[in-house]
Amino acid sequence: MRVLVTGGAGYIGSHVVKKLGEQGHIACTFDNLSTGNRWAVLYGDIIVDDLNNMEAIRRTVRAFRPDAVIHFAAAIVVPESVADPLKYYANNTANTLNLLRVLQEEKIGMFIFSSTAAVYGMPEQMPIDELAPLAPINPYGTSKMMTELILRDMAAVNSSFRYVALRYFNVAGADPKAQIGQAYAAATHLITRGLKTAKGFSARLQIFGTDYDTPDGTCIRDYIHVDDLADAHLLALKSLADGRKSDIFNCGYGHGFSVREVVTVIRDVTGIPFLVEETGRRAGDPAQLVADSTKLRKVLGWQPLYDDLSFIVKTAWEWEKKLS
């Protein structure tokens, strides 16, 4: 298949482009390189432009003629979204609307959307299934929820348009061959921050909030290896190609780890007893997010290979050691 990947030079997008190439699909990446890297795109062409430029989108779609689009391009930092909500509504919602308008014009009918567990806000029950109410507590989650609603309404009136929205929980790790991995200039993910602290890039790792209603007072998250998540995208692509209806799936393992537990694993994997500093909560952080991924497993046949926090951290550490 011919697949246009927006944000394909970013962390998750580049792993999906790699999987697409390895499976014989033809990928074309569209990325403004604001957080992505050209070297991370291992297969296919890359168009460097922005989704706020509808003419660039239109030109790319007409030239490449994709069978499907996988849409990653977005701003993803929760505290930043609280401080600068308009950036998130512009980048995550309005720019997606630009993309969808062009796809509608050009009659491109298969769409996979990079969504997030942040659409659930602070759910009352764990683990969270796809029927849980959407009640985001930060602009990042709201911007993604708005896009999901647009997709729902678009598909309702256009039988030739079908989509899959994948709600990610906490994505971590790196390509097991250490060819690509997370390479943001200012990493906000806990595991990456911990590894950079172990390397000496920071004097200490900050823990944001120790008074949550969890067993050890720190936030609990469901960490999914980026390669297992990439596999979910390929399964979603196949489901659309096979004619399945639009759907939504949670992407996680179904169990979580606290911040303190993750710190312990990072110290064990690296062998470096880096310092930790406890500080106040960040805005927009729920106490606990754990996925019920039963639907993804049963409907799409997802079988994760790397449900092991030590392995996740080890792959991220091998990648981190390759970076300067």
The C-alpha atoms of residue 264 and residue 95 are separated, in whole angstroms, by 40
212 is catalytic: no
User: What mean pLDDT is predicted for residues 32-44?
Assistant: 97
- Whole-number percent of the chain with pLDDT over 90: 94
Kindly calculate the radius of gyration of the chain based on its CA atoms and give it in whole angstroms: 19
Tokens representing 245 are 């209806």
Q: How confident is the model at residue 284 (pLDDT cuts 50, 70, 90)?
A: confident
What residue ranges define each of the domains in the chain, with the CATH number in brackets? 2-172+224-251 (3.40.50.720), 190-221+254-322 (3.90.25.10)
Query: Average per-residue pLDDT in the chain?
Result: 96
* Tens-place pLDDT, residues 43-58: 999 999 999 999 999 9
**Is the model's pLDDT at 193 over the cut of 80?**
yes
Name residue, tokens 């298969």. 110
**Which member of 120, 140, 168, 253 is catalytic?**
140
Can you give the pLDDT at residue 156? 97
Name residue, tokens 């399945």. 244
- Whole-number percent of the chain with pLDDT over 70: 99
Hey, which residues does 172 pair with through a beta bridge?
Answer: 225
Can you give the pLDDT at residue 209? 97
Can you give the pLDDT at residue 285? 83
Confirm if 66 and 3 have CB atoms less than 8 A apart. yes
Can you give the pLDDT at residue 8? 98
Confirm if 253 and 302 have CB atoms less than 8 A apart. no
**Is the model's pLDDT at 94 over the cut of 80?**
yes
**Displacement of CA 105 from its chain's centroid (Å):** 27
**Is the model's pLDDT at 124 over the cut of 90?**
no
Name residue, tokens 């989704």. 51
Can you give the pLDDT at residue 186? 76
Can you give the pLDDT at residue 237? 98
User: What mean pLDDT is predicted for residues 71-92?
Assistant: 95
Tokens representing 192 are 């990456």
**Is the model's pLDDT at 188 over the cut of 90?**
no
Phi, psi of 172 (to 5 degrees): -150, 180
Number of helices (H) and strands (E) in the chain: give both, helices first. Answer: 11, 14
196 burial via Cβ count (<10 Å: 0-12, 13-18, 19+): middle
Q: How confident is the model at residue 221 (pLDDT cuts 50, 70, 90)?
A: very high
User: What mean pLDDT is predicted for residues 109-138?
Assistant: 95
- For 111, 139, 186, 251, the CA distances from 236, given in Å and listed in that order, are 9, 26, 30, 12
Can you give the pLDDT at residue 79? 86
Q: How confident is the model at residue 78 (pLDDT cuts 50, 70, 90)?
A: confident
